Amino acid sequence: MTGEYLMQIGEVAERTGLSVKTIRDYDAAEVLHPSGRSDGGFRLYSTDDVERLLMVRRMKPLGFSLSEAAVLVDAVRMLDEANPDVDVTAVRSRVAAFIRDAEARRERLDEQLGMVDEFLDSLRAH
């Protein structure tokens, strides 16, 4: 991480659209920990941390829990770090399961949107 640009929580909140409180809550819930701390104890986040927070933000409207988000964030982190001790096949399989789950959730949302359109059409007909 030497030389990497690290951001304080306020900048991360601006970049992600999440509140400072939500980011702190994610840290407390062990969804995502900051990459470091300043000498004064402030949380410091990397650009990878920001990308992972955006991933969590995108998961929430699909109904994924924070514990599920933590599992996916951890899997993505393991793939990004390219640690030779990590079973990459197992981690990729875990990510693939999330992809399948997200696709199924998207299908359900598409069905619900279709029902909303039908409902609106019926209301407009009156």
Is pLDDT at 121 greater than 60 in this prediction?
yes
Q: Tens digit of pLDDT for each residue in 68-104?
A: 999 999 999 999 988 899 999 999 999 999 999 999 9
**What is the pTM assigned to this prediction?**
0.85
pLDDT at 83: 86
Alpha-carbon span 72 to 86, nearest angstrom: 15
Pick the CATH number of 7-124 from 1.20.120.1200, 3.40.50.850, 3.40.50.720, 1.10.1660.10: 1.10.1660.10
Average pLDDT over residues 96-116: 97
Q: Tens digit of pLDDT for each residue in 7-49?
A: 999 999 999 999 999 999 999 999 999 999 999 999 999 999 9
Higher pLDDT, residue 66 or 83: 66
